[in-house]
Amino acid sequence: MRLWNSRGCVLLLAASVLGLTGMHLTAFFLGSGPAFRLIQIFWRITRSLICKLWRLAAQSTLAAIPLAGPMNFPSGSTVRRLRPLLSVTILAGLAVSPVAAEQLPAFAVPQAGISFETGDSWVQGNQHIRLFGVQACLRGTTYVNSAGVRGDCGEASLVYLAALIRDLRPRCAPIAQTADPPEIIVVCSAELAGSTLDLGTIMITQGYAFAAFAADHKPVYMPYLVAELVAKKARTGLWATADFSHPTQMLLHAIRP
C-alpha cells in the first residue's frame, strides 16, 4: 500500500505541520518560562512525528520532484544572480534561534510604504525583510498555464504574498539578522477565523512558494517541506500549471561544482 495515496495520511501530515508551526510561533513570542519549556516538549514530539510520516509517505515523492522548466543557464551572469539568493537561504538555515546581539520587537506589516522585492521578501522603511525558510519562485522564470499562456513565475509568487499581507495584516517576529545582504529574517503570523496561521505555511500550502533548502541539500525547516509535498499532491497554485521552473532545484544546481 502506498501511504502517500491515502487521504488520511495527507490530512495527518497537514494537521501536524499546522500544529508544529503554531507551537513554533508561540514559543518565539513567549521567550522563556514553564510554558515555553512545555511547548518545547510538544514541539519535539510533533517534529518527530512529521519526520517519521515524511520518511514513510513522501520520500519517494521528494526524490521525484521534477523541474517543470528546463534548467538552461544562458550565461554565467544568470548563475551569479542566483548565488546571492542561495546565500540568503543558507544564512536563514543557520539562524534558527532568536537574535542574540540585538533583540528586535515583533511588528505589524504596514498597508502602505511597503515595496515587494520577491514572493518571500519586501522592504518597509529602510529595512529588508525576508520570510524564514520560504523560497518563492524566481523572478524571470516562467510558468505555463493550462491554456498554454506563459507568465512570470516570480511575479505570481510576489502578487500572492502582497495579497496575503493586504488581506490578513500579519505580524512578524524577527528571529535573525544577516549582514550580507543586510536583511531581517522573520516568522509572520495572521489571525483568520479565530485561528493563528503562519504566513510561510499559507504561501507553501497554497502553491505559491516552496521550502527553502540549504547548501547541504537539506530543508531549512522540515515542516515547510511537508507542506510543499501536500501542495504538490493537491495541485494547488503553481502546481496546477502545465509547466513551471522549480526555484529550489535551480538554486542548488547553480552551486554544483
Query: Which domains are delineated in the chain?
Result: 3-254 (2.40.50.90)
pLDDT per position as a tens digit, 143-184? 988 788 899 999 999 999 999 999 999 999 999 988 877 899
Burial class (CB in 10 A: 0-12, 13-18, 19+), 56: exposed
How confident is the model at residue 175, as a pLDDT? Answer: 93
**Greatest extent of the chain over all pairs of C-alpha atoms, in Å:** 56
Mean pLDDT of 31-52: 50
* Helices and strands (H and E) in the chain: how many: 8, 12
For the full predicted model, state whether its pTM sits above 0.75: no
Mean pLDDT of 39-64: 45
Q: For the chain, what is the mean pLDDT?
A: 71
How confident is the model at residue 100, as a pLDDT? Answer: 38
Torsion, Cα 208 123 138 145, to 10 degrees, reads 40
Statement: residue 240 has pLDDT above 50: yes
Statement: residue 59 has pLDDT above 80: no
Q: Count other Cβ atoms within 10 Å, centred on residue 26.
A: 15
Burial class (CB in 10 A: 0-12, 13-18, 19+), 83: exposed
Highest mean pLDDT among 55-59, 79-83, 232-236: 232-236
Buried b (16+ CB within 10 A) or exposed e, 127-149: ebbbbbbbbbbbbebbbbeeeee
Statement: residue 17 has pLDDT above 60: no
pLDDT per position as a tens digit, 118-152? 999 999 988 999 999 999 999 999 998 878 889 99
Statement: residue 189 has pLDDT above 50: yes
Pick 133 or 33 by higher pLDDT.
Answer: 133
Q: Per the structure block, which three cell numbers stand in for 250?
A: 535551480
